[in-house]
A and B are shown apart, each in its own frame.
Chain A
Amino acid sequence: MVRDIENIQHSFSTENDGNISKKQTFLTYGEQDKFAYYLLKLVASLVIILLLGMIAMLLNSSLSAIEEFGIGFALNDNWNPVEDEFGALAFLFGTLVTSALAILIAAPLSISVAVFINEILPTKLGKLISLFVEMIAAIPSIVFGLWGIFFLGPFVKDVLTPFLKSNFGFLPLFQGASFGIGILTASIILAIMITPTITSICREVLKTVPKIQKEAALALGATRFEMIKIALIKPSFSGLTGGVVLGLGRALGETMAVAMVIGNSPTITASLFSPAATMASVIANEYAEADSDLHLSAMCYIGLLLFLVTFIVNSFARAIVWKKQRKARG
């Protein structure tokens, strides 16, 4: 059909060449269209160049750190700006642990809410609830951080920590003192922040399941729980995974809220109560104050690693979700 339109449009523009447009404008319609097309293409190319330029510049400014530390940078946990010794392992650890914990909390909740909105609630109420969930995504991360410092931090310290300690205190995860700021608080904030992302993608994925499949399950005498399990969750499992992984991508790169509640100490400990630092939080905290070139370069290196990790995670997620949607469209 698109080719038809082009043909029609082409024949129009050539017809017009001869009579009308020559008198009115200095360009024929065909030439005008060509001009518009190339203008758009130019802008599009600029955006592509922007992304490439971004990667190239990031690579270029981390070059001196790459030469100095090599691949071992990611495996060395010594971060000492005063001595010009840099290793990113502690930050890698912080990022991975907080994101993984956030996913553990957020994924089951988000998928449940997606199912709840799509399958259980009447349409209007579902729209209202999903509006509320989307509002969470609209809250600026600085506000999350502020709330995290003054509300969630004390809550974790006074309520959650004693509870976890008395019930699961035998695990090394829940030992040690809690100051309210640390891995656990950061993970909870992250979980809240990525819930809307996962929920909205899971809703899209669940929508692609054909209605007839659900009705078939119900007609066989399944309860609603069994129908959702057999006809909804199982066939769309890979799509749901994609949504969760996309949420992970968002959690890895989140900066401000985490930087405010994680405590910013580049240490690796087993306890979830202890402060740590993530790749994004160290850049946020130290970049403006870095004085040596190597320090700046090391942080660009961390940025490059973070970029690579989010790039891989996002590509993976998109590949899954796209494949799913293409299949659904037939």
Chain B
Amino acid sequence: MTYLHWRKFKNIAFHASLYLAAIIVLLPLFLIVSYVFKMGASSLNLDFFLAFPKPVGEVGGGMRHAITGTLYLVAIASIISIPTGLLCGIYLSEFGKGKVANLLKFSIDMLTGVPSIIIGIFAYILIVVPLKGFSAMAGGVALSIIILPIVCRSTEEILKLIPQHIREAGLALGLPRWRVILNIVVKGNLSSLITGVMLAISRAAGETAPLLFTSFGNMYLSYRIDEPMASLPVQIYNYAISPFDDWRRQAWAGAFVLITIVLGINLLSRLLVKIGGLRHLIRRGIK
């Protein structure tokens, strides 16, 4: 074998190993999704969405309380962190200079890296301890701290892409700066901003760790903000580690619903950016 052949052989081997690496990386995705679909679809029935849990030992029941709870918790988190995140993102992209902006950038970076379980501890100290009990409020706050940096980062990055001359055009028309930001910069990119927000929401819907000791869990349907509240991920966790077959079956059904919601929102929001027509529609709808 000549040296050239050796080099060519190495090149081919390298390509083959890259293909292999891609297959190894993507294999778990398909394994997980197909396994969850296989186990989940067979365990899913209408009762899962409409019924409440039955006492231990009885077969049947559903997770209506947990689905409601997850929606409730995500709503609390969204109310707190979407406005805050949007404002922080706008601040960073439009006035991103000076001490406060640099500190904010640093804080957002740090918050992104903080493990979610530590945010759970924080919400516990902040809300559970003073209220002397687990509450939906604490869970909502924990989730809001998790999605705040995501909303802020995506807003900042989207708004930074807008060419400077568009802002100048608005200013040249005599608009005050805040109207330029609101009516031109933000409104013109609403669909991208919504994408960022939706990605953050899908993240919040799947979080478990910070809810374990904040909203805790509840076997009953509750709408009270100062009481423990069930959520889909925590319910899945509790059922998954339980010794009852029927509970495990429901855990799979729960995982199936959760993964459908989370991947669904995720894909939908990505599609939203791609489809220009949709973008137009939304803009018109909001007017």
Contact = CB atoms under 8 A, between A and B. Distances in A.
Interface of A: 1-2, 5, 8-9, 12-13, 16, 29-30, 32-33, 35-37, 39-41, 43-48, 50-51, 54, 57-58, 60-61, 108-110, 112-113, 115-117, 120, 129, 131-133, 135-136, 138-147, 149-151, 192, 195, 199, 223-226, 228, 249, 252-256, 260, 280, 283-284, 287-288, 299-300, 303, 306-307, 310-311, 314, 318
A29 B114 contact: no
Contacts of B88: 40, 43-44, 47
Nearest to A106: B25
Contacts of B181: 36
A320 B41 CA distance: 45
A145 B97 CA distance: 42
Given A41-B100, A255-B209, A58 B122 contact: yes
A54 B122 contact: yes
A44 B104 contact: yes
Contacts of B32: 139, 143-144, 147, 151
B113 A249 contact: yes
A46 to B, nearest CB: 7
A300 B168 CA distance: 50
B91 A44 contact: yes
A300 B171 contact: no
Interface residues of B, number: 92
Interface in B242-287: 251-252, 255, 258-259, 262-263, 266-267, 270
Contact of B114 (A12, A146, A307): A307
Contacts, number: 256
Contacts of A117: 22
Given A5-B167, A228-B14, 7 more contacts: A48-B104, A135-B266, A150-B39, A253-B113, A288-B212, A310-B115, A318-B109
A128 B205 CA distance: 25
Interface in B84-102: 84, 87-88, 90-92, 94-95, 97, 100-101
Contact of B177 (A33, A283, A287): A33
A144 B95 CA distance: 40
Given A5-B164, A256-B237, A300 B208 contact: no
B126 interface: yes
A146 B255 contact: yes
B121 interface: yes
Contacts of B107: 47-48, 50-51
A29 B100 CA distance: 24
A41 B99 CA distance: 11
